């Protein structure tokens, strides 16, 4: 059984520890804070517990390290784990600069290790349904995609809306279109905390001509977590605020009647709600990591896709600053 160590036992790490305890062998838990180590050591008595990541990395029997520490620490910790020969699942984004991410991808490739970013939404059955519909050609040619991630609060003071909210939608948009943007523009404003944009609008253009947009904000009357995909033949919405109709497919499309000399008409047909499995996305993400570690799937593509997200984030950040 794959032996896993989890580093970072704050808010998110315990969810990863719970899943790996159920799916694999949770061999180590680690946090800088002794009180957290103590708390989870009693919950997982079979796991060894430490405040030193180096102890995990020095254990030759440990297969993989899961990193759920604050974003600025990801690159250093992931690099150390890969260099120690461990497979790595690292929370998103794995690095804050594209050059750092490229280095992680290169180390993972040289050592044939898994480097998987924790892009949770990719494992959401609703997003997987969007991907399935697009890849099966159900929507016809895809023209544009846009994400809405808005709410009133939680107001962050150290991470702007692009970094705290946008990483989710960006990872989904790039996954759905499977293309690297040739243009990435962001505009935003820091209304509440100097230097921390509360409202960000992003525009992406792809080599195929497709375009995408993201509206990211914690200053908004709407609570929205939505991805819309507009195809030439159908349109589809993934709405994570909905309990039962997470994905809705609209048979709405423009068409031209020969006799109207190029005038566009619109047609609205059925609206339907495909069944979406009720699986926990984090459980699916952890399973995917274990299967990559086990040799199934394209581990190099998972790492490269992660790098594409960091590159786009970097370009959007540069645009926002400009």
Ligand X SMILES: NC(=O)c1ccc[n+]([C@@H]2O[C@H](COP(=O)([O-])OP(=O)(O)OC[C@H]3O[C@@H](n4cnc5c(N)ncnc54)[C@H](O)[C@@H]3O)[C@@H](O)[C@H]2O)c1
Q: Give the binding site for ligand X (CB under 6 A).
A: 7-13, 30-33, 36, 53, 68-71, 73, 77, 91, 118, 120
| Nearest-approach distance from CB 10 to ligand X, in angstroms | 2
Residues 6+ apart with CB under 8 A from 185: 202, 203, 204, 316, 319
Q: Which residue minimizes CB distance to ligand X?
A: 10
Residues 6+ apart with CB under 8 A from 196: 156, 157, 158, 159, 160, 190
| Nearest-approach distance from CB 165 to ligand X, in angstroms | 11
CB of 2 or CB of 73, closer to ligand X: 73
Q: What is the DSSP string of 50-68?
A: ES-HHHHHT-TT--EEEE-
CB of 186 or CB of 286, closer to ligand X: 286
- Tokens encoding 204: 């992406």
| Nearest-approach distance from CB 83 to ligand X, in angstroms | 15
CB atoms under 10 Å from CB of 56, counted, come to: 24
* Torsion sign (Cα): 109, 115, 121, 125: positive
| Nearest-approach distance from CB 267 to ligand X, in angstroms | 39
- Tokens encoding 279: 């699986």
CB of 30 or CB of 176, closer to ligand X: 30
| Nearest-approach distance from CB 263 to ligand X, in angstroms | 47
Distance CA 41, CA 29 (A): 8
| Nearest-approach distance from CB 163 to ligand X, in angstroms | 9
User: Which of 106, 219, 98, 202 minimizes the C-alpha distance to 155?
Assistant: 219
CB of 118 or CB of 231, closer to ligand X: 118
User: Which of 170, 164, 226 minimizes the C-alpha distance to 196?
Assistant: 164
> Crossing angle, helix 13-23 and helix 281-293, to 10 degrees?
60
87-91 vs 64-67, strand pairing mode: parallel
CB of 28 or CB of 253, closer to ligand X: 28
| Nearest-approach distance from CB 125 to ligand X, in angstroms | 15
Helix (H, G, I), strand (E, B) or coil at 112: coil
Q: How far is CA 238 from the centre of its chain?
A: 15
């Amino acid at each position: 059984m794959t032996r896993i160590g989890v580093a970072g036992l704050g808010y998110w790490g315990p969810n990863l520890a719970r899943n790996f305890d159920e799916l694999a062998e949770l061999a180590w838990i680690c946090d800088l804070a002794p009180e957290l180590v103590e708390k989870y050591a009693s919950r997982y008595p079979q796991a060894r517990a430490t405040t030193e990541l180096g102890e995990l990395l020095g254990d030759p029997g440990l297969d993989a390290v899961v990193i759920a520490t604050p974003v600025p620490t990801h690159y250093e910790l992931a690099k150390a784990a890969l260099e120690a020969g461990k497979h790595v699942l690292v929370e998103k984004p794995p690095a804050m600069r594209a050059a750092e991410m490229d280095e992680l991808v290169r180390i993972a490739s040289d050592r044939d290790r898994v480097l998987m970013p924790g892009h949770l939404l990719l494992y959401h059955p609703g997003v997987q349904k969007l991907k399935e519909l697009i890849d099966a050609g159900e929507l016809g040619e895809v023209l544009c995609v846009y994400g809405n991630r808005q709410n009133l609060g939680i107001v962050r003071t150290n991470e702007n809306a692009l970094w705290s909210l946008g990483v989710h939608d960006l990872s989904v948009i790039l996954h759905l279109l499977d293309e690297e943007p040739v243009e990435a523009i962001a505009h935003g404003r820091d209304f509440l905390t100097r230097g921390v944009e509360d409202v960000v609008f992003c525009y992406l253009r792809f080599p195929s001509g497709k375009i995408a947009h993201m509206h990211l904000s914690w200053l908004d009357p709407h609570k929205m977590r939505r991805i819309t995909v507009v195809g030439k033949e159908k349109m589809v919405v993934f709405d994570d605020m909905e309990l039962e109709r997470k994905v809705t497919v609209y048979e709405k499309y423009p068409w031209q009647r020969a006799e109207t000399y190029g005038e566009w008409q619109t047609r609205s047909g059925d609206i339907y709600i495909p069944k979406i499995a009720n699986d926990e996305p984090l459980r699916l993400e952890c399973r995917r990591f274990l299967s990559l570690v086990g040799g199934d799937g394209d581990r190099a593509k998972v790492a490269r896709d992660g790098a594409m997200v960091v590159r786009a984030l970097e370009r959007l950040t540069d645009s926002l600053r400009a």
